[in-house]
Amino acid sequence: MSSLVNKGMKIWLAVIAAVVVYAVIVSAFDSTPQPVRDAKSALYLEYRNIYQQSVCDSLELENTWYILCHPSELAAGGLFEVHFSDIDSHSYELSAANGKGQQHAEIFKDLQVILNKTSIIHPSDVMMVFKTEIEG
């Protein structure tokens, strides 16, 4: 019995080690700037209270980063533009780029979002790119 427990423990530790190694490798090849990753995490924490199964995706268009938080499998939701000056810092500003983003930002508890700021690219153009990536 004891050898069976030891074998199970070794397998469990090997699985945990594999997951940690995978996470480190994936994050090493992620070219998303740190401020965008931080903003995406902060938005996800707010959106888990809005959509039952929320997802936040990011993309860069014309040197501007956007984050769309939406229900799983549907490319419709709050669109945000991420503003930052240093890609290695954790400092950023978010502006709501569409009406749903503005509506949701008003009920966020722990996140400040700039409202009514003109986006660099028209929100409908950004949404079309997200829609293609998410829904195919």
Q: What is the pLDDT of residue 28?
A: 55
The pTM (predicted TM-score) of the whole model is 0.76
- Residue 108: phi and psi, rounded to 5, are -60, 140
Q: What is the pLDDT of residue 136?
A: 73
What residue spans define the domains of the chain? 1-30, 34-135
| Integer Cα distance of 91 and 84 in angstroms | 7
Q: How far apart are the first and last CA of the chain?
A: 51
pLDDT digits (tens, 9 = 90+) for 30-71: 689 999 999 999 999 999 989 889 999 999 999 999 999 999
pLDDT digits (tens, 9 = 90+) for 79-128: 999 999 877 777 899 999 999 999 999 998 888 888 878 877 899 999 99
